[in-house]
């Protein structure tokens, strides 16, 4: 635990505060989401949004939410695994962005409330890339994330992934 705290302090010290004119970012994205496995359906829509505050030039933290329409898994013998098709999540997110002018790579982790067949505490982890055209405060991005259950680690995982593209704006 002391190593994690020290890493966070080093990141803050190496990243000076951002200018007051760029303190928040809002993003909205859409794409594809699905479970993994051999008998999984074709997957479907994934929608995500988040609102974050800039902690430094490279660190952001804030609120995250999503809606995913995941097809039910079919098992041999025609039985359908009793999972709802839609998943909703709301939680918190932390993001690290590389420095750059037009292209920036990011990594993010999050945790929150997931509602699927049952309600559980889950996590998400992933990354992606942002493109800022002409030094603008608006940007385009592409990201991939893995979502999973941390509340019942010993039970079968309802984990799934999402790949989305979207628009964002910093102010």
Give the domains, in start order, of the chain with CATH numbers. 18-170 (2.40.160.20)
Residue 42: name the closest of 66, 80, 69, 77 by CA: 69
User: Which residue's entry shows tokens 């079919």?
Assistant: 74
User: Which residue's entry shows tokens 């055209």?
Assistant: 133
pLDDT digits (tens, 9 = 90+) for 55-84: 998 999 999 999 998 766 555 555 555 555
Stretch among 20-29, 84-93, 100-109 having the lowest mean pLDDT: 20-29
Does 16 score more than 50 pLDDT? no
pLDDT band at 138 (very low <50, low <70, confident <90, very high): very high
Q: What is the CA radius of gyration of the chain?
A: 18
């Amino acid at each position: 635990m002391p190593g994690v705290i020290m890493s966070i302090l080093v990141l803050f010290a190496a990243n000076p505060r951002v200018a007051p004119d760029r303190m928040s970012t809002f993003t909205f994205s859409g794409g594809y989401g699905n479970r993994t496995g051999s008998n999984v359906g074709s997957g479907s829509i994934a929608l995500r949004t988040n609102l974050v505050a800039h902690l430094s030039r490279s660190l952001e933290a804030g609120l995250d939410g999503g809606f995913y329409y995941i097809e039910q898994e079919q098992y041999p013998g025609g039985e359908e695994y009793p999972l709802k098709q839609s998943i909703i999540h709301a939680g918190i997110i932390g993001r690290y962005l590389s420095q750059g002018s037009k292209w920036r790579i990011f990594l993010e982790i999050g945790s929150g409330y997931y509602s699927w067949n049952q309600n559980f505490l889950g996590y998400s982890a992933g990354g992606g890339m942002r493109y800022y055209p002409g030094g603008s405060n608006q940007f385009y991005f592409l990201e991939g994330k893995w979502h999973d259950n941390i509340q019942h680690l010993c039970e079968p995982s309802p984990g799934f992934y999402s790949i989305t593209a979207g628009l964002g704006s910093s102010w």
